[in-house]
Amino acid sequence: MSDTETKLSAYRKDINEIDDKLVKLFIKRMETAGKIGSLKKEAGLPVLNVKREEEVKKRLTEDVPEDYKESVDKLYDAIFSISREHQESLKRQ
């Protein structure tokens, strides 16, 4: 195996470990979002809370290096969209 292949293999192993952790955290986040969705349903509140989403993105990007701010913003747009879909599905049950 070449030096490049060895390094790639090590980096990919790191990525796999990070991805495993991310998925576990994502599942935990979705379960919590489901609990929030249930509370919103009981209280008759809408799923979408633009102000809350903007506050979260602002908090999360404050200390992020400039090169990653837009990516973190896009990541959370996707996460929020998935969370809203999950909460909407709970409201229909």
- Confidence bin at 91 (pLDDT 50/70/90): confident
Q: Which CATH number goes with the domain that contains 78? A: 1.20.59.10
Per-residue pLDDT tens for 5-59?
A: 999 999 999 999 999 999 999 999 999 999 999 999 999 999 999 999 999 999 9
Task: Determine contact, residues 27/47, Cβ cutoff 8 Å.
Answer: no
The number of domains in the chain is 1
Domain coverage including residue 33: 3-91
